[in-house]
């Protein structure tokens, strides 16, 4: 008799998510797909919503915040072109799921969350999953993480109207920064910035909808 326990069901749900939500919609980076097969997304979702963890949508994680839709996490990650040896900064730890995906694909992840309860929860789950290359800090991501700069890539997973200047300063030459840019409660522009010797260029990558970036960025 076959015994299918809930962990097996989650593995099947993950594989299904990769096939139907990612492979069919322009996610082709094999390392990114592998990370999505591996990271247990259901553990980053509140217990009462775990059965929906692999659905094609964002989900509430408390405090008015959300874990992003799998496709959006995959798109933003793929656009960073990670090869394995990078140091990456994330603004908006939220559940910690995006940080875990990044940690599968680069050397070190530095992630900042302004809501202490969320950064504590994310730290606990990332610790229990034995991620040693993720560093979580509570605070306003506006100022970045100067002690650890420069970064090969920066990912902002909340929406500011402009990129805080310290984040551009902390990006390496040759580095990439991905951000949903735009006003609160409106469709935002997923934008990738590339920094080279001659300056910073940007490219529009489609519309998206993220929770707003709070704090210092709202005052300017
Ligand atoms: N990457 C997350 C989803 C992020 S939701 C995940 O994988 O689950 C956006 C998060 O950004 C929220 O948790 C919100 O509290 C946080 N945030 C908003 N403004 C911020 C700021 N100025 N600094 C750091 N975090 C911020």
215 lines ligand 1 (CB under 6 A): yes
Closest atom, ligand 1, to C-alpha of 95 = 8
Structure letter (DSSP) for residue 69: P
pTM of the predicted model, to two decimals?
0.96
Q: What are residue 209's DSSP bridge partners?
A: none
166 lines ligand 1 (CB under 6 A): no
115 lines ligand 1 (CB under 6 A): yes
Q: Is-cis flag, bond preceding 56, omega within 30? A: no
For residue 133, count other CB atoms closer than 10 A to its CB. 16
When pLDDT is averaged across residues 12-31 and rounded to a whole number, the result is 96
Q: Tens digits of per-residue pLDDT, 42-85?
A: 999 999 999 999 999 999 999 999 999 999 999 999 999 999 99
Q: Is the dihedral of CA 154, 166, 203, 180 positive or negative?
A: positive
pLDDT number for residue 5: 76
Buried b (16+ CB within 10 A) or exposed e, 29-40: beebbebbeebb
Distance from residue 201's CA to the centre of ligand 1 (Å): 25
Q: Tens digits of per-residue pLDDT, 148-177?
A: 999 999 999 999 999 999 999 999 999 999
User: What is the pLDDT confidence band of residue 4, given thresholds at 50, 70 and 90?
Assistant: low
Q: Tens digits of per-residue pLDDT, 101-154?
A: 999 999 999 999 999 999 999 999 999 999 999 999 999 999 999 999 999 999
Cα–Cα dist 58/66, whole Å: 6
pLDDT number for residue 1: 41
The token pair at 139 is: 């605070």
State whether residue 174 is helix, strand or coil: strand
> Among the options 2, 3, 68, 123, which is catalytic?
68
User: What is the pLDDT confidence band of residue 2, given thresholds at 50, 70 and 90?
Assistant: very low
CA angle 53, 10, 67 (to 5 degrees): 20
Cα–Cα dist 71/47, whole Å: 22
Does 119 qualify as catalytic in the annotation?
Answer: no
Q: Tens digits of per-residue pLDDT, 169-186?
A: 999 999 999 999 998 889
The token pair at 88 is: 């990456």
């Amino acid at each position: 008799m076959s015994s299918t326990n809930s962990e097996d069901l989650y593995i099947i749900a993950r594989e299904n998510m990769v096939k139907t939500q990612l492979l069919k919609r322009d996610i082709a980076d094999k390392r990114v797909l592998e990370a999505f097969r591996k990271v247990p997304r259901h553990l980053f979702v509140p217990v009462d919503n775990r059965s929906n963890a692999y659905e094609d949508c964002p989900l509430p994680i408390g405090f008015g915040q959300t874990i992003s839709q799998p496709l959006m996490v995959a798109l933003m990650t793929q656009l960073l072109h990670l090869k394995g040896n990078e140091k990456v900064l994330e603004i908006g730890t939220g559940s910690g799921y995006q940080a875990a995906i990044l940690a599968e694909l680069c050397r070190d992840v530095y992630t900042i969350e302004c809501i202490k309860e969320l950064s504590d929860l994310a730290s606990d789950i990332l610790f229990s999953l034995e991620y040693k290359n993720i560093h979580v800090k509570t605070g306003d991501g506006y100022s970045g993480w100067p002690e650890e700069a420069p970064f090969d890539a920066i990912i902002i997973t909340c929406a500011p109207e402009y990129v805080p200047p310290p984040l551009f300063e902390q990006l390496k030459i040759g580095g990439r920064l991905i951000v949903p840019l735009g006003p609160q409660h409106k469709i935002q522009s997923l934008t990738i910035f590339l920094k080279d010797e001659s300056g910073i260029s940007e490219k529009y990558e489609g519309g998206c909808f993220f929770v707003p970036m709070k704090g210092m960025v709202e005052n300017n």
